[in-house]
Structure 1
Amino acid sequence: MNYILIQGWTELKPQDKLLYIRWNWLLYGCEDDALTIASLAQTLRMNKSTVRDSVGRLLSSGKIVQSEERGLFRVAMGPLEDSPIKLSDGKKSFIKKVLGDEEDLSKVRAEELSLRLLKAVLVFLCDDLGVINDFRFSYLSKITGMSIQRLRRYRDELKQAGFILKFVPGGNSPNLYKKALSICIIDPQLIGGGKITFSLPKGEDKGISQAIFGWEPNKLLLRYELADKMLDLESDEGLGDPMLETLIKFRETEKQYFLPMDVENEKHCDLREVFLHKFELRISHFFDELVSKSIQTILSPEFEFLTRSSKAKTDQIYVNKSLTKLWREDIEMHSYFLLDLIRKHIVSGARLEKPVDLYFFRSHSAFYILSNIGRIDCRYVKTK
């Protein structure tokens, strides 16, 4: 049934889909599948005017049909099967709740119904930790009937409300990222997942890494290094002194480069590509993914982990390798700091019944560790 959420929905409005889903839910327990607008509004507990307008559009689209007896309407295809995509109980529960199952929506405005639909769709698309790695406004517009402008406004509202914890924009650039999709992270506690939060006091201006460690990893990208050292990737001293601010020139060009990248058989990268295409946040999120991987590596002798591939790394192997080296000490500092927080949520000497899924990321003022530990910590099996 929930599969209706991701079906195409062009030429129809968001509230039409919400009504259509609730109508299909109703059919599973309703002997009489033909209803008048008044009886449908009463049964679904929705505003009669909203129901009348939606029924008119659904009728024109062929989603519903009018019975021979005038004034009666029924779903054209009958009850639909549930989604072939398996949803966790937490996600199913949230979707039913946000779409108003057993709730009186008669006084809820169309704007609120649209926002509820978007929440349900995002929960359907995310994994069990609330992560959507292939977020696309164009796709959401197609399946919700909302304009991209409206979806962006709702995205901002959901970030402000804490429903979305972080949003990493996608984009395109000549070399670093080609067709990179956005990353959207929803609060997993809404769908039964676990979340550890370490945040700064209100009013703190510094970023959290700067406040705790006195150093912001991404600020290294604002510094330039000697070309001969930067290109010597195999050397232990390959990255040279990260504090060097020497402006370098590559061959006879006037461009300034910061990391080696294979461009037309020459290993270099134009720093401006990061900023012109607004990839600072994506590069920063790549750091977070490396920290997640580091934590898993340290804990792997004790626990089995689910594998997550990096979605924020660049398309250039040289850049990824250089960034990993450049951030090596920062990754270690963050990893061991976070391990203390993680271990407090793991019973000493215990063995989990299923693989651990773990995902770390930063906002400006907080560290977040998402995991399935929050759901399964009551099902530990003690080791002998």
Structure 2
Amino acid sequence: MKKIKGLSLFANVGVAEAMFESIGVEIVLANELIEKRAQFYSDVYPKAKMICGDITDDAVRTQIVELAVELGVNFIIATPPCQGMSVAGNRDPDDPRNQLIYYAIDVIKRVNPSFVMLENVPKQLTTKITVDGRKIRIPDYIKRELQEAYAFNDNTLAKARDFGVPQLRERNIFLLVKKELGFKWEFPEKQDEVTLEMAIGHLPSLDPLLREGMSLTLEKFPDFEKKKAEGLSVSKWHHPPTHPWRHVEWMMHTPTGKSAIYNEVYYPQKADGSEIKAHHNHYRRMNWDKPSRTITMFNGFISTLATVHPGRPYEENGQLLYSDPRALSVYELLIVMSIPTDWPIPDWADDSFLRSVIGEGIPSKMARDILYQLVISYDGI
């Protein structure tokens, strides 16, 4: 088997890389700006060298390039931050993070690897950046700089649901192969869809921990401790998220797949009782018979984009209610992101940190399956 040795730029904590070892791909070098994320990466992938620093700094970028060449890197995966382009972000065309692709391209041209995987949100296709004082669309810039040396994949839009990942996440992914190698790197065939029922429907139900304290939690959810223990018997990461009671109450009255904004009585309200104006995907439960909505950095909040567990209907005092009025647990997020549930998460990592970095990652199985297409093509030449 021909060895693929990789460099991960904008590495985050290595969500994309979580299954690479299973297909014989070795990430030997990574770069991450944020020290806490870099430490997590090093704890999970101790064999990889980590350069923690700002890729826009010429000295740091040169250090990355020189070490990549020394280590024999022939594959680069780059996933620049997308908040400036994301539907879940503010979509600011002048967000400086949109410019980070410039520095990734510089590293690619200097390292000159055989293979490149550039991943971002679909909005990248129409987002413009400023290069040499002129505006240019990101795809046009990438191709202008690299298409002489590299063959690009024909279809660049990929949905996580097509890779057997229980999530609707869509990404734009450029797959590049040196032209002299004589083949193109394309996505694999679509796989069967995995619904939330199939992925997490077997897990124990959890009641939320109310922000107002344990006394109110036990008053509203007498089985809280029992359910918590059942969850922890599965994984230490399947434990109750914390939410304010008013959010929880709205969601107890919200059916599977629906948003609380459509409730006649228990709809989102301000402290003065006035209605909260929200997007139809806010305060929304997900569907059992579909994959999860896209997991974002803010996946621990009920009020944001479709984060709430689908729940099960039950009756209490003649009232129809729905269980699990909460965001997905960290364990459920691992499954929905197709991250191995035995991923060696460092003991020091807490829920808030994990939720943020998981929400920024590429689903692990999606990344692995795309890369495996390269492995078998490369072995075949």
Which TM bucket (shorter chain)? under 0.3
- When normalised by structure 1's length, the TM-score is 0.27
- Structure in which a larger fraction of residues adopt helix: 1
**Higher relative CO (CA 8 A, sep ≥ 6), structure 1 or 2?**
2
State which structure, 1 or 2, has the greater radius of gyration over its C-alpha atoms.
Answer: 1
